[in-house]
Homo-oligomer: A and B are copies of this chain.
Amino acid sequence: MNHLFITPAARLQPRWQAAFPQATLAAVAPETDRLTPPPDIIWIVCEGEQQPLSAPLLEAVTRLSAESAVVVLANAPQQADALQALQAGARGYAHALSPVATLQQIATVVTNAGIWVPADLMAQVMGHTWQALNGEQRLRHALLDKLTEREREVALAVVQGASNKQVARTLNITERTVKAHLTSIFHKLEITDRMQLILKLADRAVNLPLGM
**Minimum CB distance partner of A136 in chain B:** B204
Question: Which segment, of A3-11, A18-26, A51-59, A153-161, faces chain B?
Answer: A153-161
Q: Of residues A112, A128, A130, which shows the largest number of chain B Cβ atoms within 10 Å of its Cβ?
A: A112
A206 with B160: CB separation less than 8 A: yes
- Stoichiometry, as copies per complex, reads 2
A161 partner, pick from B196, B204, B212, beta carbons under 8 A: B196
Which residues of chain B are within 8 angstroms of A83 by Cβ–Cβ distance?
126, 129-130, 133-134
Tell whether A198 is near chain B: CB-to-CB under 8 Å.
yes
In the assembled complex, A87 has its CB within 8 A of some CB on chain B? yes
Contact A119 B115, beta carbon cutoff 8 Å: yes
| Contact A202 B208, CB 8 Å, known A108-B105, A114-B116, A130-B83 | no
Given the contacts A198-B195, A199-B161, A132 and B128 also touching, CB distance less than 8 Å: yes
Nearest chain B residue, comparing its CB with the CB of A212: B133
Complex Cα spacing A194 to B116, Å: 44
> Closest residue of chain B to A130, judged by CB?
B83
Main DSSP-derived SS at the A contact region = helix
Separation of A156 and B206 alpha carbons in the complex (Å): 8
A173: interface (CB < 8 Å): no
Residue in contact with A202 in the complex, picked from B101, B160, B198, CB distance below 8 Å? B198
Tell me, yes or no, whether A189 is within 8 Å of chain B by CB. Answer: no
Beta-carbon contacts under 8 Å, A105-150 to B = 105, 108-109, 112-117, 119, 122-130, 132-134, 137, 140-141, 144
Beyond known contacts A125-B126, A144-B208, A160-B206: 13 more, CB 8 A cutoff: A80-B133, A83-B126, A87-B126, A87-B127, A102-B112, A109-B114, A115-B119, A125-B125, A125-B129, A161-B195, A195-B198, A198-B199, A202-B203
- 23 A-B pairs with CB atoms under 8 Å apart are A83-B126, A87-B126, A87-B127, A102-B113, A105-B108, A105-B112, A105-B114, A109-B109, A109-B114, A114-B119, A115-B122, A117-B126, A125-B126, A125-B129, A140-B208, A156-B206, A159-B206, A160-B199, A161-B199, A194-B195, A195-B195, A198-B198, A198-B199
